[in-house]
Every structure is written in structure tokens, then in C-alpha cells.
Amino acid sequence: GRLHTTYNQAGSVTGRFSSIDPNLQNIPIRTDVGRQIRVAFHAGTEGWLLLAADYSQIELRVLAHLSADPGLLEAFRNDQDIHAATAAQVYGVALDQVTLDMRRIAKVLNFGIIYGQSPFGLANLLKIPQREAKQYIEAYFARYPGIVAYMDQTKEFAHSKGYVETIFGRRCHVPAIGEKNPARRNYAERQAINAPIQGSAADIIKRAMIEMPSALLEAGLNAKMLLQVHDELLFEVPESEVEETKKVVSETMECAALPARELQVPITVDIGYGENWSETH
């Protein structure tokens, strides 16, 4: 009477889980139809609720740690809206002068940089001329020199070793880094830049998953961990235990990088709950 997925631990180069038969990591959330589909997912026991705990911008926080860029570190340490803070940097305005459109462009930049976004790709996403997209990227790198240094050092390391490493020392091999074909080599370089970021985030949530059952048990809670969707863990929880479960889940996830590594920025977790998966967000 329950729906089960199958997880592949080596589902990607970076170490993220992939989910098959069915793929429960690919249920849409940003569209009306997707949200309607999520209404179909609910706890399997009467009087229980679903609780979703989501790492807040974990990959950007990992990037801040890896690059040690002063601007990114300051934004996260001061608990600023990272996309608004980036917009203020890129446009050279005060934080309270950032418009919604500036923030939208900065958000695309922040996530695009992680995946090696080119001016061509950014122009397509933002529906702007390629020349303008190039100017945005140049302004971004001018404001965040630590990120440029991280990217250059990571590419150099990958060319030398044939792999890159997550914060925890797990290796992500990049065999195509020595390709003579420029397009393939450039793609491998983008993989090399992204792998320590996405791979470290994957390591952190897996560590949280390992610690979670004993943390819930020690707290005398009955919550069950049901699903992992990249940066999110989904639980079913007795309604009477929701508040205490929120506290334990949050603490466990926020401390998942310790004691092996202490990040230079805090890790935060956003938690929601409801009668179905749609209501948790």
C-alpha cells in the first residue's frame, strides 16, 4: 500500500543520489500542475503529517567556503538575502536599492556560475543580448575575485590529477579533462568546477541521513525518514510530535558537516509541514 522508489548511490559524477522506478526526485514544484501532483503524496498513517526539511542555498554556501570569497562569506555570515546581496555587488548599489529585476538577474548569475554558465547560455535564460550577459558575468567576477581564483585553481588541479575532491576528500573523477576536443574539454572543466560544490552538498545530506535515525530515536520521537530529494529530506511525523521533530531534524542537518569539517559559513534548514507534500512548501 505504499509507493517505493529505488535509489542509485552512484547516480551521478558528483555523488548525488538518483531515483528510479519511479523517479520521485523529479516531481515538479514550480508549476500549478506539479503542485497538484504533490497533493497526491501524503503520510500513510492516520493522524500523521509530512514534514519537509530543505537545506537553504547549500551549494552557494559550499561555494563560499571553498572560494573563501570575502563578499560571499560576509553575506552568509550576516544572514543576508544572498541574491539581493549579489545584485547590490554587481550593480554597485546599496542593498535597499536592489529591485526585484536586479535580484532576479543576480539569482540566475549565482546559480549559473556554479554550473559554468556561458554568456550565450545566460543570454538565453534572461532573454537579453549576449553582449549584455557577458557584461553581467564580468561584473560578477570583478565583485567576487575569490570565486575566480577557486575556478582557476580547481581547473588546474583537475588537469594535473584527473579528478577533484569534495570538502570531505571524496574524489570525483573527470576523465575528459585531457580531451583535445575544445568543446569536450570545456565541458569537463565545468564539471570539475561544479563537482566539489555539488558533491560536498551531497556528502553533507548523506551524513545527515546517517545520523538522523539515531537522533530521532534518542529524542524518543516516532518520525520516519521517507525520501531524499537532493537538498531536501521528507519525513512522516505524528501530528503531536511536529514541533519537537522540527527541532531535532534541523539540529541534525545543520551539524552534518561536523566534526569532520567546519564550514566558514553557517548551514541553515527551512522546514515546512502539512497533510500532503504540496503543503510542506
* Torsion of Cα atoms, 146 then 147 then 149 then 152, to 10°: 180
What type of residue is 100? L
Q: Which three cell numbers stand for residue 133?
A: 550577459
Strand partners, 233: 53, 228
| Residue pointed to by grid coordinates 556554479 | 114
Q: Which three cell numbers stand for residue 63?
A: 561555494
Strand partners, 229: 232
Residue among 225, 154, 232 at smallest CA distance from 195: 154
- Assess whether 54 carries a catalytic annotation: yes
Mapped onto helix, strand or coil, the DSSP state of residue 49 is strand
Q: Which three cell numbers stand for residue 249?
A: 531534524
Q: How many angstroms separate the CA atoms of 49 and 43, rounded? A: 6
CA distances from 275 to 24, 41, 43, 47, 94 (A): 18, 9, 7, 9, 41
Q: Which three cell numbers stand for residue 225?
A: 525518514
Q: Which three cell numbers stand for residue 203?
A: 556528502
Residue among 217, 216, 204, 220 at smallest CA distance from 253: 204
DSSP-derived secondary structure letter, 226:
E
What type of residue is 155? K
Q: 54, 69, 203, 231: which one is catalytic?
A: 54
CB 110 within 8 A of CB 60: yes
- The catalytic residue positions are 54
